[in-house]
Amino acid sequence: MKSRDEVRRERLIKNEQSFRDYNNRRVSFEQEADVEDDLVPFVCECGDSECIEGMELSVDDYMAAHSSGLRFTVKPGHYFPEAERVVAEHDRFWLVEKHEA
What does the binding site for Zn ion look like in residue numbers (CB under 5 A)?
44, 46, 51, 75, 78
Shortest spacing between CB 33 and Zn ion, in angstroms: 25
Shortest spacing between CB 72 and Zn ion, in angstroms: 10
What SS3 class is residue 19?
A: helix
Cα–Cα distance for residue pair 88/85, rounded to 1 Å: 9
Pick the closer one to Zn ion by CB: 12 or 44.
Answer: 44
Pick the closer one to Zn ion by CB: 59 or 96.
Answer: 96
CA separation, residue 40 to residues 47, 53, 86 (Å)? 21, 14, 22
Give the gyration radius of the chain's Cα atoms: 14
Pick the closer one to Zn ion by CB: 36 or 89.
Answer: 89
The answer to whether residues 84 and 98 touch, using CB atoms and an 8 Å cutoff, is yes
Shortest spacing between CB 14 and Zn ion, in angstroms: 15
